[in-house]
Amino acid sequence: MNMSKTLAVASREYWAAVRSKSFLIGLILMPVWMGGGLLAAKLGEHNKDTSTYQIAIIDRTPGEALYPAIAAAVAHHNRYEIADSNGKPTGPVFVV
């Protein structure tokens, strides 16, 4: 008995939500928003930042232990990760 009452209430609430203006507007706008997001991502992938950034490092570890690791990572990035196979820049250059 209780289950049929629960289903009746759930059905009534569902149909009330589906018939509301906000549900219909959301139903129409959701694909537009998703398409706009995909379009923005597609347009944004062509705008690569190829600037040169100067970075200052203050290494307060004993014996300045972190600076060599950071400098090596930056050198690796600048040597191998800022250009594609054709030599076209795809990322920023960092100067420590």
Q: Where are the domains of the chain?
A: 2-44, 52-95
Residues 6+ apart with CB under 8 A from 50: 82, 89, 90, 91, 92, 93
pLDDT higher than 90, residue 95: yes
94 has which bridge partners? Answer: 53
CA distance 57 to 60: 9
* Per-residue pLDDT tens over the stretch 38-92: 999 998 877 778 889 999 999 898 988 899 999 999 999 988 888 888 878 888 8
pLDDT of residue 1: 58
pLDDT higher than 90, residue 2: no
